[in-house]
Amino acid sequence: MRPVQLFDVVSVSYTATLPSGEVIESAPAEKPLTLAIGSGRILKAVEASLLGMEAGQTKTVHIQPEDAFGPYLQTLVQEVPRTAFAGRVDPRPGMLLSLAMEKDGATHQVPATVLAAGNETVTVDYNHPLAGRVITYTVTLHAIGN
Protein backbone atom coordinates (compact mmCIF):
# COMPACT_ATOMS: atom_id res chain seq x y z
CA MET A 1 0.00 0.00 0.00
CA ARG A 2 1.34 3.42 -0.86
CA PRO A 3 0.80 6.57 1.22
CA VAL A 4 -1.21 9.62 0.16
CA GLN A 5 0.58 12.04 -2.12
CA LEU A 6 -0.28 15.47 -3.53
CA PHE A 7 -3.08 15.32 -6.13
CA ASP A 8 -4.26 11.85 -5.05
CA VAL A 9 -8.02 11.38 -4.87
CA VAL A 10 -8.92 10.12 -1.42
CA SER A 11 -11.99 9.03 0.49
CA VAL A 12 -12.08 10.31 4.08
CA SER A 13 -14.40 10.63 7.01
CA TYR A 14 -13.82 13.19 9.74
CA THR A 15 -15.20 14.99 12.74
CA ALA A 16 -14.23 18.58 13.53
CA THR A 17 -14.67 19.73 17.11
CA LEU A 18 -14.01 22.77 19.28
CA PRO A 19 -12.11 22.46 22.58
CA SER A 20 -15.51 22.24 24.33
CA GLY A 21 -16.21 19.03 22.39
CA GLU A 22 -18.89 20.68 20.25
CA VAL A 23 -18.99 19.09 16.79
CA ILE A 24 -18.91 21.81 14.12
CA GLU A 25 -18.61 19.67 10.99
CA SER A 26 -18.39 16.04 10.01
CA ALA A 27 -18.27 13.62 7.11
CA PRO A 28 -19.40 10.27 8.55
CA ALA A 29 -17.80 6.95 7.60
CA GLU A 30 -21.13 5.87 6.04
CA LYS A 31 -20.87 8.80 3.59
CA PRO A 32 -17.15 9.60 3.27
CA LEU A 33 -15.97 12.68 1.44
CA THR A 34 -14.06 12.14 -1.80
CA LEU A 35 -11.57 14.86 -2.69
CA ALA A 36 -8.33 15.50 -4.52
CA ILE A 37 -5.44 16.45 -2.24
CA GLY A 38 -4.64 20.08 -3.06
CA SER A 39 -8.18 20.91 -4.25
CA GLY A 40 -9.00 23.10 -1.26
CA ARG A 41 -12.32 21.38 -0.48
CA ILE A 42 -11.28 21.16 3.17
CA LEU A 43 -8.85 23.27 5.19
CA LYS A 44 -5.34 23.16 3.70
CA ALA A 45 -3.88 22.13 7.06
CA VAL A 46 -6.24 19.14 7.19
CA GLU A 47 -5.33 18.18 3.61
CA ALA A 48 -1.64 18.42 4.51
CA SER A 49 -2.19 16.12 7.49
CA LEU A 50 -3.40 13.41 5.09
CA LEU A 51 -0.09 13.34 3.21
CA GLY A 52 1.79 10.15 4.07
CA MET A 53 -1.24 8.38 5.55
CA GLU A 54 -2.28 4.93 4.31
CA ALA A 55 -5.80 3.57 3.86
CA GLY A 56 -7.31 2.51 7.17
CA GLN A 57 -5.31 4.96 9.29
CA THR A 58 -6.90 7.53 11.61
CA LYS A 59 -5.18 10.71 12.73
CA THR A 60 -6.12 13.54 15.10
CA VAL A 61 -4.80 17.01 14.29
CA HIS A 62 -5.23 20.31 16.10
CA ILE A 63 -5.59 23.14 13.61
CA GLN A 64 -4.50 26.53 14.96
CA PRO A 65 -6.58 29.64 14.17
CA GLU A 66 -4.10 30.98 11.61
CA ASP A 67 -4.49 27.73 9.63
CA ALA A 68 -8.27 27.62 10.02
CA PHE A 69 -10.48 30.72 10.10
CA GLY A 70 -7.89 33.25 11.19
CA PRO A 71 -7.23 35.07 14.43
CA TYR A 72 -10.01 36.97 16.18
CA LEU A 73 -9.50 40.65 15.36
CA GLN A 74 -11.09 43.21 17.68
CA THR A 75 -10.85 45.77 14.85
CA LEU A 76 -13.57 43.79 13.03
CA VAL A 77 -16.06 44.57 15.81
CA GLN A 78 -17.77 47.81 14.82
CA GLU A 79 -20.61 50.12 15.78
CA VAL A 80 -23.13 50.70 12.99
CA PRO A 81 -25.86 53.36 13.20
CA ARG A 82 -29.25 51.71 13.75
CA THR A 83 -30.57 53.86 10.88
CA ALA A 84 -28.52 51.69 8.48
CA PHE A 85 -31.05 48.90 9.09
CA ALA A 86 -34.19 51.08 8.84
CA GLY A 87 -37.05 49.34 7.13
CA ARG A 88 -35.06 46.17 6.37
CA VAL A 89 -34.44 44.32 9.62
CA ASP A 90 -34.69 44.78 13.38
CA PRO A 91 -31.21 43.63 14.50
CA ARG A 92 -31.06 41.49 17.65
CA PRO A 93 -28.04 39.95 19.40
CA GLY A 94 -27.04 36.63 17.83
CA MET A 95 -28.47 37.40 14.38
CA LEU A 96 -26.25 36.72 11.38
CA LEU A 97 -26.62 39.43 8.75
CA SER A 98 -25.18 40.12 5.31
CA LEU A 99 -23.83 43.67 5.37
CA ALA A 100 -22.08 45.86 2.83
CA MET A 101 -18.46 46.72 3.69
CA GLU A 102 -15.99 48.94 1.82
CA LYS A 103 -12.57 47.44 1.08
CA ASP A 104 -9.99 48.66 -1.42
CA GLY A 105 -12.52 51.01 -3.02
CA ALA A 106 -15.12 48.29 -3.64
CA THR A 107 -18.26 47.33 -1.74
CA HIS A 108 -18.51 43.69 -0.64
CA GLN A 109 -21.36 41.78 1.03
CA VAL A 110 -19.96 40.09 4.14
CA PRO A 111 -21.53 38.16 6.99
CA ALA A 112 -21.65 39.86 10.38
CA THR A 113 -22.94 38.70 13.77
CA VAL A 114 -24.96 41.16 15.84
CA LEU A 115 -23.38 41.39 19.30
CA ALA A 116 -25.57 44.15 20.77
CA ALA A 117 -28.45 46.31 19.58
CA GLY A 118 -29.03 49.67 21.24
CA ASN A 119 -31.42 52.50 20.43
CA GLU A 120 -28.84 54.42 18.39
CA THR A 121 -26.21 51.87 17.37
CA VAL A 122 -25.78 48.17 16.63
CA THR A 123 -22.52 46.38 17.48
CA VAL A 124 -21.58 43.92 14.73
CA ASP A 125 -18.72 41.44 14.49
CA TYR A 126 -17.28 40.83 11.02
CA ASN A 127 -14.99 38.02 12.26
CA HIS A 128 -15.81 34.50 11.09
CA PRO A 129 -17.74 32.78 13.90
CA LEU A 130 -14.83 30.31 14.29
CA ALA A 131 -12.06 32.94 14.16
CA GLY A 132 -9.53 32.57 16.96
CA ARG A 133 -10.57 28.99 17.71
CA VAL A 134 -8.44 25.83 17.65
CA ILE A 135 -10.28 23.12 15.73
CA THR A 136 -9.54 19.44 16.27
CA TYR A 137 -10.05 17.10 13.31
CA THR A 138 -10.15 13.35 13.71
CA VAL A 139 -9.68 12.05 10.17
CA THR A 140 -9.89 8.47 8.85
CA LEU A 141 -8.48 7.68 5.42
CA HIS A 142 -10.69 5.04 3.79
CA ALA A 143 -9.18 4.76 0.32
CA ILE A 144 -6.71 6.24 -2.13
CA GLY A 145 -8.09 6.21 -5.65
CA ASN A 146 -7.48 7.98 -8.92
What CATH code is carried by the domain that includes residue 42?
3.10.50.40
Residue 2 resides in a domain: no
Q: Identify the DSSP state of 1.
A: -
Residue 79 resides in a domain: yes
Residue 4 resides in a domain: no
pLDDT in tens, 70-80: 999 999 999 99
CA separation for the pair 119, 141 (Å, rounded): 53
At residue 55, the pLDDT reads 95
User: Do residues 13 and 42 both lie within one domain?
Assistant: yes
Residue 55 resides in a domain: yes
User: Do residues 15 and 54 both lie within one domain?
Assistant: yes
Domain region containing 38: 9-69+131-145
pLDDT band with cut points at 50, 70 and 90 for residue 100: confident
Residue 28 resides in a domain: yes
Task: Please give the mean pLDDT across all residues of the chain.
Answer: 93
At residue 146, the pLDDT reads 59
pLDDT in tens, 102-137: 778 888 888 999 999 999 999 999 999 999 999 999
Global confidence as pTM: 0.82
Beta-carbon contacts of residue 63 (< 8 Å; ≥ 6 apart) = 43, 45, 46, 134, 135, 136, 137
At residue 143, the pLDDT reads 95
What CATH code is carried by the domain that includes residue 111?
2.40.10.330
The stretch 81-107 carries a mean pLDDT of: 88
The stretch 49-78 carries a mean pLDDT of: 96
User: Number of folded domains in the chain?
Assistant: 2
User: Do residues 65 and 13 both lie within one domain?
Assistant: yes
